[in-house]
Structure 1
Amino acid sequence: DARKLHIGMVFQNFTLIPAMTVIENIALFLPDLGMVLDRKQIIKKIDSISKRFHLEVKPLAPVWQLSIGEQQKVEVLKLLLANARLLILDEPTKVLAPHEIAALFKVMRGLKEEGYSVIFITHKIREVLECADRITVMRRGRVTGQLMRAEASEDKIIEMMFGKTKIKQVERIIKAGTTSSKPLLEIKKASTKAQGFSVGLKDIDLKIFQGEIVGVAGVSGNGQKELGDLILGLLKCEKGHKFLFGENATHWHIGRVRREGAAFIPENPLSMAAVPNMTSQENMAVNNTRKYSRRHGFFIDLATALADLEQSFENLGLTAPPFLCPIKTLSGGNIQRVIVARELAQSAELIVAFYPTKGLDVLSTTAIQQVLIRFRNSGCGIILISDDLEELFSMSDRLIVLYQGKMVGHFKPEETNMVDIGHLMTGVRG
């Protein structure tokens, strides 16, 4: 029905087939595809639309070889070639580098000038103010207000999103002598083997000390996940060594790493850190059976697990979801809240945080960021992997940049800027 009404959507998770070429992915989406694929005709259409809207792509390239920004262009091309006139973009800047975001906004402006309508869904207020003509704010599934761009400001939008609740800014408390001379984590010349479409890490040197946050910047798929997996023992060193808490941990498995004092906020909470059919309460308990088992392991103390989870939510300042329904029935943001609360309820010396504020609203994002800052100020070492450069700059004591599995930059935030980091992220410099 939506296609008949010329409505199309680019989802957060792209709907492309990696092994197929750009032209094949687009052809599968076209409503008038015949029995035989007329490649020349489709390429002609792609060239016409791509030049018109600055959506240049290589029609014969396999999708898996394209960057995230290029894959997003293919998704938009699919809709335009299928005659969509209203395009819905769901969090389109989430995994883009700064220069790719600027290119996307140029595409959106071009579409508007040609008479197309674009619905831009995002949590990022500054991006809304930069590119929207009219702004609609929703809270808990209801529209709370509409503004023209000329009337809008960050404060007005936040008030419409959360009422008159005051949102505190994240403040890093810089203490003299916060870090120790002995690292919690030390990686020496570590390399890993590439697996499938993932990259291998190449000669990584990294130290994490007590009382600091080290931010990891990079376009998705350039080794951030692999670095986290290496630290946690999910990925083996092909070369080099890893030391945790003063011991050689090169061959430690993830169970040992966690027992020794590492917490893990994963990239995909439901598939990597939860049992989908269990409740949030049960997921809290199975995460630490040593703590919650009773009677020699024949009984699990779910009541204590629930109390600890509730206490963690209170400490974090997060709105608690239902704890007694299967975790898979919760929204993505609520699943993330449960896993963050569970992990930060444990005593940890080192936190590996993959996108810890992903999917959260502004209040919850700020609460999580403040908690990480408190953990940092109490002496915890944190490695923060995020695709939000503003978050990385505001929270990190040091920044590293990964590109194609290599560490191509290492800075203090005050020594660099987002444009230079963006260039390193995309291989323009480095």
Structure 2
Amino acid sequence: QEISERFGFNVDPDAVIEDLPVGVQQRVEIIKALSRRAEVLVLDEPTAVLTPHETDELMEIMRQLRDEGTSIVFITHKLREVKAVSDRITVIRRGKVVGEADPSADQADLASLMVGRQVSLAQDKAEAAPGEVALEVTDLRVTDAAGTRTLDDVSFDVRHGEVLAIAGVQGNGQTELTEALLGLQENVHGSATLEGRELVGRSPKQVLDAGVGFVPEDRTHDALVADFSVAENLVLDQHDRAPYGSPVAMRLKVIKDNAETLIPEFDIRTESAASAVSTLSGGNQQKVVMARALNRELALLIASQPTRGVDVGSIEFLHRRILDERDKGTPVVIVSTELDEVTQLADRIAVMYRGQILGIVPGDEDRDVLGLMMAGYTVEAAREAVASGARTADSQLADEGEIA
């Protein structure tokens, strides 16, 4: 309690951890470290589950700790946060230190140092030309084994040729939403129709066979078989149908040829198509998952955290592929906790909070409005607060010309 009050953490020492918001849980982790009188504090991607405003609060705490004499190693791939809080920047690429920079360094220069080449941080996105409604979700509800409503009367639609981004802090119903659409949740009520065909009640295989490409948020547990080869993982959900096989046999040469095509196309860095997918880095495993989802005729693409664990250069490539799919007329649903990703890809943005959609806003909505909605504000309340001067650190940096 003393540490909590000293740094303004506002944590109830008698509260049960599982009942606390993820942002407060993050503060508890820091209090644990400080209670041991830590002189060096290592924070590894600490903002992954925080709202923009919680991130600002964490950065203020980091500054206080620094001023108190604590040394902090802050590990992150988010360039906005690097520029906002660091005193010195060290860039690591492929396990080696490749350079150091000052926080005043240009964001594009930092990205180039991270990747080893020039990259474009902003996609040249053509105006969307939405067609007819393809996916229509109505009053979708999910109840977990304990009887808790984890998805609460969610309704939205997605048109051909548009990207709908689902934004929100992790743990606010996004996982349950995508799993309900894929047939992975058991206690589901409501409706989700794709081109007029009901998805609720179908098995995952039936949904995938209907032309749904799916990128799950946890590639290790839900997207890959570690001991299978890269080639086998690239056809994991299509191995029993043409051209890759039949219910009784797989066509190994066709599967190998498919891998030999996709590996260079998606820059999957592997010794060979026969290598176990477990030997690949996390970023290259993600490329395998994305390649598999995009390598088919799609009726719908659902991608949850599509670039998690991927370097800046690969993010640029994967974002381009997603937008190309949109431009072909495919309806796309992106679930992401990264506001940069959301604003770069989305034509419309639905913000989720505690299992509900608080509102659907245009893709160019003010970042500060989105940040407040992620913290539970309605659209109207968030816009009023921003009009009254509510800001986040990265939007202030953008106004000052520090970041894109």
TM-score range, shorter chain: 0.7 to 0.9
Secondary structure of residue in 2 paired with 1:167: coil
Question: Corresponding residue for 1:360?
Answer: 310
Q: CA deviation at 1:188?
A: 1.5
Deviation at 1:309, TM superposition (A): 2.9
Q: Is 1:217–1:392's contact at 8 Å kept on the other side of the alignment?
A: yes
* CA RMSD of superposed structures (Å): 2.0
Q: Does 1:142 align with 2:96?
A: yes
Give the 3 Å change call, closer, same or farther, for CA 357–166 of structure 1 in structure 2.
Answer: closer
- Alignment partner of 1:232 out of 175, 182, 204: 182
Q: Distance in 2 between matches of 1:306 and 1:340?
A: 18
Give identity over the alignment, percent.
32
Aligned match of 2:269: 320
TM-score, structure 2 as length reference: 0.88
Other-structure match for 1:65: 19
* Residue 423 of structure 1, CA deviation: 1.9
Partner of 2:397: none
Q: Identify the residue that residue 180 of structure 1 maps to in structure 2.
A: 131
CA distance in 2, matches of 1:141, 1:399: 36
Report what 2:171 is aligned to.
Answer: 221
Residue 60 (structure 2) pairs with residue 111 (structure 1) = no
Contact residue 217 and residue 385 of structure 1 kept, 8 A: yes
Mapping of 1:9-408 within 5 angstroms?
47-150=1-104, 152-167=105-120, 169-175=122-128, 178-181=129-132, 183-196=133-146, 199-236=149-186, 238-289=188-239, 290-291=241-242, 294=245, 297-316=247-266, 318-322=267-271, 323-408=273-358
Shift of 1:376: 0.2
> Match of 1:139, as an amino acid?
R
Alpha-carbon distance in structure 2 between the residues aligned to 1:110 and 1:168:
31
Q: Which residue of 2 aligns with 1:427?
A: 376
- Counterpart residue number, 1:37: none
Structure 2 gap ranges (5+): 380-404
Q: Describe the SS at the equivalent of 1:376.
A: helix
1:307 is displaced (CA, Å) by 2.6
- For residue 254 of structure 1, what is the amino acid of its counterpart? P
Secondary structure of the structure 1 residue equivalent to 2:242: helix
What is the DSSP-based 3-state SS (H/G/I as helix, E as strand, rest coil) of the residue aligned with 1:263? strand
Aligned partner letter, 1:291:
A
More deviation in 303-312 or 49-58? 303-312
Q: CA deviation at 1:164?
A: 3.8
Which of 1 and 2 has greater Rg? 1
**Partner Cα separation in structure 2 for residue 174 and residue 72 of structure 1:** 39
Cα deviation digits, residues 111-141 of structure 1 (max 9, x gap): 1000111111111112111111001011111
Structure 1 unmatched runs, 5+: 1-46
Higher relative contact order (CA 8 A, sep 6+): 2
* Count of matched residue pairs: 377
Quick one: distance in 1 between partners of 2:84 and 2:185?
A: 41
Structure 1 stretches (4+) deviating beyond 4 angstroms?
196-199
Asked if structure 2 preserves the Cα contact closer than 8 Å seen for 1:89 and 1:119, the reply is yes
Provide closer, same or farther for how the CA distance between residues 236 and 242 of structure 1 changes in structure 2, counting only shifts above 3 A: farther
Residues 1:148 and 1:422: Cα distance change in structure 2 (over 3 Å): closer
Deviation at 1:91, TM superposition (A): 1.1
Distance 1:146 1:243, change over 3 A: same
Change in Cα spacing, 1:196 to 1:337, as seen in structure 2 (3 Å) is: farther
| Compared CA separation, residues 229 and 73, structure 1 to 2 (3 A) | same
Deviations, residues 308-339 of structure 1 (Å, cap 9, x unaligned) = 234234334x3433443322333322221211
